[in-house]
Amino acid sequence: MNKALRKAVIAGNWKMNKTPAEAKELLDAIKPLVKDADCDVVACVPFVDLSVALEATAGSNVKVGAENCHWEPSGAYTGEISAPMLAAMQVPYVIIGHSERRTYFGETDVTVNKRVKAALANGLTVILCVGEYLEQREQGVTGEVVALQTKIDLQGVSAEELKRVIIAYEPVWAIGTGKTATAAQANEVCALIRATIADLYSKADADALTIQYGGSMNAKNAEELLDQPDVDGGLIGGASLKPEDFAAIVKAASR
Ligand code: PEP
């Protein structure tokens, strides 16, 4: 009902795919296909592709994001990248708390919260991922799980900082599996996240928050998902690596 207050955001999550040369090629293919988009378009790419992605997208409407960042500004954290490092490169977006980070790399809501705060303190816009596992959905605790993640992940984030937060609702069972949540399921949980934000902040803050759905969104199902009143965009994995499919999703979000 307040969808008009929010800008739709379609973000690609490239995961661990594409060398720098391949990244340039993919972005060069995507750019002309999305140039008339009436939504924000973001490509979140592996760290090694950031430079080339920033160069390839300069002057276009495609923005670049990273896929994670550490909470400390620097130090003995082998293999990590800090928020000030991303800020120094003028990377505008970063995904935090993706379920693959939580599942394979032991990230918890406490570490996700630290990363969110570091990213925001350094001027980045955060795409914060939350979502339930299949067993949790089957146990009927999706709402509790997602509300708890939202509350812990945003602890200490001010209403002002919240303006640079996008929440991506990504049911873990739908990521990379080809099993999409129904439009009704996606909308129900996005609405619940919005209600949680209204409790934590205010109704106005909740109405202004962009909430994406992510999980096997593709060229065929995007329109129905994006038509839902509380679904303001998508976080796209597999389909973001296919220029025509990604562009079709951007088109669906631009209507
Ligand atoms: C993701 O990685 O955030 C995602 C939604 O992946 P996919 O679209 O492949 O399910």
Q: For residue range 196-215, list pLDDT tens digits in order.
A: 999 999 999 999 999 999 99
pLDDT of residue 4: 83
Concatenated DSSP letters for the chain?
Answer: --GGGS--EEEEE--S---HHHHHHHHHHHHHHHTT-SSEEEEE--GGGHHHHHHHHTTSSEEEEES--BSSSSSS-TT--BHHHHHHTT--EEEES-HHHHHHS---HHHHHHHHHHHHHTTPEEEEEE---HHHHHTT-HHHHHHHHHHHHTTT--HHHHTTEEEEE--GGGTTTS-PPPHHHHHHHHHHHHHHHHHHS-HHHHHH-EEEEESS--TTTHHHHHTSTT--EEEESGGGGSHHHHHHHHHHHH-
Look at residue 5 and tell me whether its pLDDT is greater than 70: yes
- Establish whether 178 is an annotated binding residue: no
Q: Is residue 23 scored above 80 in pLDDT?
A: yes
98 flagged as catalytic: yes
Does residue 234 have a known ligand-binding role?
no
Q: What does the mean pLDDT of the chain come to? A: 97
Residue 1 has what pLDDT? 53
% of residues, the chain, pLDDT over 90 = 95
List pLDDT tens digits, range 54-103.
999 999 999 999 999 999 999 999 999 999 999 999 999 999 999 999 99
| Domains of the chain, start order | 9-253 (3.20.20.70)
Does 236 sit in the ligand 1 pocket, CB within 6 Å?
Answer: yes
What pLDDT score was predicted for residue 9?
Answer: 98
Could you confirm whether 70 is annotated as catalytic?
Answer: no
- Predicted pLDDT of residue 228: 97
Atom of ligand 1 nearest to the CA of 177: 10
